[in-house]
Structure 1
Amino acid sequence: MNHNIHYTLCPICNSTNIEPIFSAEDYTVSHALFPIWQCHQCKGRFTQDVPDFLNIGAYYQSENYISHSDTKKGIINVLYHWVRFVTLKRKRKFIEQIGGSINKTILDVGAGTGAFAHTMQQSGWQVSGVEADAGARNIAASKYNLHFHLPEYLNEIKQASFQMITLWHVLEHVHDLHGYMKVFNQSLTPNGKLVIAVPNYTSFDAAFYQQYWAAYDVPRHLYHFSPESMAALAAQHHFKIQQYRSMPFDSFYVALLSEQYKSGKTSLLKAGWVGIRSTFNMWQNAKNCSSVIYVLEKKN
């Protein structure tokens, strides 16, 4: 039996105007090639022939998959932890800036090993988390005493339960994309905010590295968003994008990994140059960043 999903319509906007662009390698686990297709209607991309929800788990089973393992093995993962320490403070300030101080309830979807949820809890927020991976949940429980829900919890949330819902590099992994977006709209308070951070394939570093761009991360990344495709997805689910924010460290981190994939070695100099170019574009417009944070609010 074939457990792969072959799309005949764009999974983001349901258009038939789709075609293959190139194939990318899974550098983390299988080293298999997966085709990446583009939709000419919404300008989104997606990974074709991905394993279905029941069979994707094997592609996360690697100690190098840092959001689940918390590993500090290797220079890139050491850099990741240093950057995370810095960005956690930035994320907390950002959430408090846009979230207000009246109803400090937050749901972190794809909460991983709990570092962000713990940071928000320390700042006085009432935190709930959803995490599919048992290993990541165990680390969150032992390290921070945080007990996250399984994804089924999303179907049990009462209407208007949360002021903030956050997904930090998670939406690109979700098989039930439209089901999740529907739940998010129902679960937010009327003035609540949905914060989605995802890689941006229209960035300079993505264009430079093409199929070697690390943020394609096939087959774990099912969708590859552009700002235009995110706006299309938001509109389908009665959201509007209130603002765009950049994630400046991502340009360098992704360039480091991409350079390793392309040339077989870690070149700080080459990756640094690509990161600087990408960051320069980001300063001109947050929509040009390697990863973009989208702040969505409900349409009235």
Structure 2
Amino acid sequence: TFTLTDHLVSGDEFRLIWNEHYQCFQTHPVPEHPERFYESKDYISHSDSADTAMARVYQRAKKINLNHKLKLVRRYCGQEGVLMDIGAGTGDFVKHAQDHGCEAYGVEPNETARERAHKKGVAVYSRITVQREAIYDAVTLWHVLEHLPDLDAEIRTISKTLKPGGWLILAVPNYKSLDAKYYKSDWAAYDVPRHLWHFSRGSIQTIFKKQGFELRAVKPLWLDAFYISWLSEIYKKNPLAALSGALMGAASNFSGIFTREFSSQVYCLQKEG
């Protein structure tokens, strides 16, 4: 185990402990009132903020990633598939999918983020609704799985909404990447206590195999290494954070070409038919 600090909201300290069942690390203790750790204007995925250099870079990268994500989803579930995005935030991916002809829906528990999505004309709901018949061809979770307190229950619910042979596509940070090993307790993607779980390729395969999913492909999110490294350098109070972060991001991506361990990875899992 080792100790991590919440750099975003509280300054509180947390530990990572090994979870044998899931074969991954777990944040300890789990907050009794997790919602208060999201209450920051700097939590950009809920605020749509663009008033700092970091926020502007995040928003620009998000727009680039939207195209990449949609192409990835369509590669597996086709042009006509029905999509649900869980942890939709302010609704950008759902809106992007709808604007490109997809039937897409979003789920987001945070009220502030939902309101921002609604202002964009995107219907984002507060929770997953399980119907009598599974209706979705694909379910996406972009940096969401690590926030869910009860993994088994959430995955079972998601599975009930997916058609047999449907696709679950999720992105999570990878603690085995070069930048994670370099920054150690300052690695921004640990993001305790908002991130309750810390995954590797092996843990994702273990968790979802038990729930009837086969891992079909693993893809990198190239831009994440630069953003995470930059933020990690800020946590280290490096006055040259942007430059140092860019260099480490590039190094991590280059390393990932050979090790297949990227800073953030997209896992494409297929539900058994």
Relative to the length of structure 1, the TM-score reads 0.87
- CA separation in 1, counterparts of 2:45 and 2:124? 15
- CA separation in 2, counterparts of 1:264 and 1:176? 36
Matched, 1:108 2:85: yes
From 197, 202, 206, the counterpart of 1:232: 206
Q: How does 1:1-300 map to 2 (within 5 A)?
A: 21-39=1-19, 43-52=23-32, 55-102=33-80, 104-142=81-119, 144-151=120-127, 154-285=128-259, 287-300=260-273
Residue 105 of structure 2 aligns to a residue in which SS? strand
Deviation at 1:92, TM superposition (A): 1.3
- CA separation in 1, counterparts of 2:266 and 2:85? 14
Deviation at 1:109, TM superposition (A): 0.2
Paired residue total = 273
Check whether the contact 2:164–2:272 (CA below 8 A) recurs between aligned residues. Answer: no
Residue 190 of structure 1 aligns to a residue in which SS? strand
- CA separation in 2, counterparts of 1:273 and 1:29? 27
After superposition, the C-alpha distances for 1:75-104 in whole angstroms (9 at most, x for unaligned) are 1111111111111111111111111134x2
Check whether the contact 2:82–2:137 (CA below 8 A) recurs between aligned residues. Answer: yes
- CA separation in 1, counterparts of 2:23 and 2:255? 20
Deviation at 1:236, TM superposition (A): 1.3
Relative to the length of structure 2, the TM-score reads 0.96
One-letter identity of the residue aligned with 1:112: G
- CA separation in 2, counterparts of 1:289 and 1:177? 23
- CA separation in 1, counterparts of 2:240 and 2:210? 41
One-letter identity of the residue aligned with 2:205: A
Question: Counterpart of 1:17?
Answer: none
Gaps of 5+ in 2: none
Residue 159 of structure 1 aligns to a residue in which SS? coil
- CA separation in 2, counterparts of 1:158 and 1:139? 30
- CA separation in 2, counterparts of 1:281 and 1:40? 28
- CA separation in 1, counterparts of 2:232 and 2:165? 39
Identity across the alignment (%): 34
- Once superposed, what is the RMSD of the aligned Cα atoms? 1.5
Deviation at 1:147, TM superposition (A): 2.1
- CA separation in 1, counterparts of 2:131 and 2:52? 40
One-letter identity of the residue aligned with 1:288: E
Residue 201 of structure 1 aligns to a residue in which SS? coil
Mean Cα deviation higher: 129-138 or 38-47: 38-47
After superposition, the C-alpha distances for 1:101-120 in whole angstroms (9 at most, x for unaligned) are 34x21000000001100010
Check whether the contact 2:165–2:272 (CA below 8 A) recurs between aligned residues. Answer: no
One-letter identity of the residue aligned with 1:147: A
